[in-house]
Structure 1
């Protein structure tokens, strides 16, 4: 509606301004205002989808089956000749080697146990080969308790260079047990030597045992290499 004419400061009349129209309700303005957050939400959802897809792809890369460059052994006690260990502890294959395989869809596992005596032995050797088919064993390998061993005695844990991707030697309390673990792709090799009786009882005395374990583990990796 139009109001009555008004007088300005000079006594002249000027047309009255149209009365301010109330904002439309539910019309175009409301629709335009509603479209903006909708488009923003749509753009945000698209961006989130892209980021989610990228993250899923990266996650899938981490979960991809690890590369295995070693064949599955049919008889680990035959493939693990233990020549170096036999030189320092006597023939390890003469006394009923124990051999076992487990063909699980996630991990193909082979186990061998050797000892240098029939009823009484001074050295028992456990060998295990795990071929991981589904997930990368690297993070689990890195979670080994090497810091705990190092806190107890720095001489009890050491890295072995030039064997697989990573290799660790762990000496148990008293030096009566030594474990060598080797990681290479999806394959994990474990050799554990446990002594009794006249076995070495200090880390310093296990130097020959550790060297023999590394030599025999290297020979096993070569024997199973595809």
Structure 2
């Protein structure tokens, strides 16, 4: 929105906006409006001219770079400050800590990363979680979305069991780890790609137990939704 700046005193020199007003219906011979109403009209005219210039500039950028992906999220240099995992922690019955983060800012892409885990407790399950946020500023990531190994190249994904997640970004998929405990949630929204993985390990001395994978999947989706809302522009 373009507001009226503060101006001390009256203008005594005809501006471009005043000259434009002279050319409006009524011609040069009409009586010039003075006082506050006149200044308001001139500012309104100037605002329309400025708004038109901004819109023209936006169209020019879009025409010059038609393939630039849409970016609705901000880059976080310390993603661990945004990465709470409250719902996942409730599903695991454990608190995540040991946070480690990293980030990079480049011409084509900005990225930030956070890794957390639970402490070892005798007889209990151990959990680890990783989050990667990529903001693609040049190329559209849709073509290669969800084709890589995620945050752990050593992990095999059971792609045959892939689930589409509705109502999260432009597209979201949930994959289970093959032959070990864990899930990967990936979300594509414009030029942003969010990857959240959660793994669980059962030490040799741990008591026999099972993980409610459906509850963990729902918790990952909820925490991802919270994170995306935080990083929204």
TM-score bracket, normalised by the shorter chain, equals 0.5 to 0.7
| Residue of structure 2 in register with 1:103 after alignment | 105
| Residue of structure 1 in register with 2:118 after alignment | 116
Report which of the two structures shows the higher radius of gyration computed on alpha carbons: 1
| Residue of structure 2 in register with 1:79 after alignment | 82
SS in 2 for 1:138: coil
Distance 1:158 1:200 in 2: 28
1:212 and 2:224 matched: no
Distance 1:125 1:140 in 2: 23
1:160 and 2:165 matched: yes
Q: CA separation of 1:170/1:200 partners in 2, compared to 1, >3 Å: closer, same or farther?
A: farther
1:131 and 2:138 matched: no
| Residue of structure 2 in register with 1:48 after alignment | none
Distance 1:112 1:103 in 2: 15
Shift in Å, 1:119: 8.7
Distance 2:138 2:107 in 1: 8
**Conserved 8 A contact 1:200-1:206:** no
Which deviates the most, 168-177 or 126-135?
A: 168-177
Shift in Å, 1:74: 2.2
| Residue of structure 1 in register with 2:15 after alignment | none
SS in 1 for 2:145: helix
Alignment of 1:154-193 (within 5 A): 156-193=161-198
Q: Can you list the C-alpha shifts for 1:115-137, whole angstroms capped at 9, x where unaligned?
A: 01169871100000000011000
| Residue of structure 2 in register with 1:66 after alignment | 69
SS in 2 for 1:81: coil
SS in 2 for 1:84: helix
Distance 1:138 1:131 in 2: 12
Distance 2:208 2:163 in 1: 18
Normalized per residue, the structure richer in helix is 1
Count of matched residue pairs? 159
* Unmatched segments (≥5 aa) in structure 2: 1-62, 150-156
CA RMSD of aligned residues (A): 3.1
**Conserved 8 A contact 1:175-1:201:** no
**Conserved 8 A contact 2:87-2:223:** yes
Distance 2:146 2:87 in 1: 28
Distance 2:163 2:87 in 1: 20
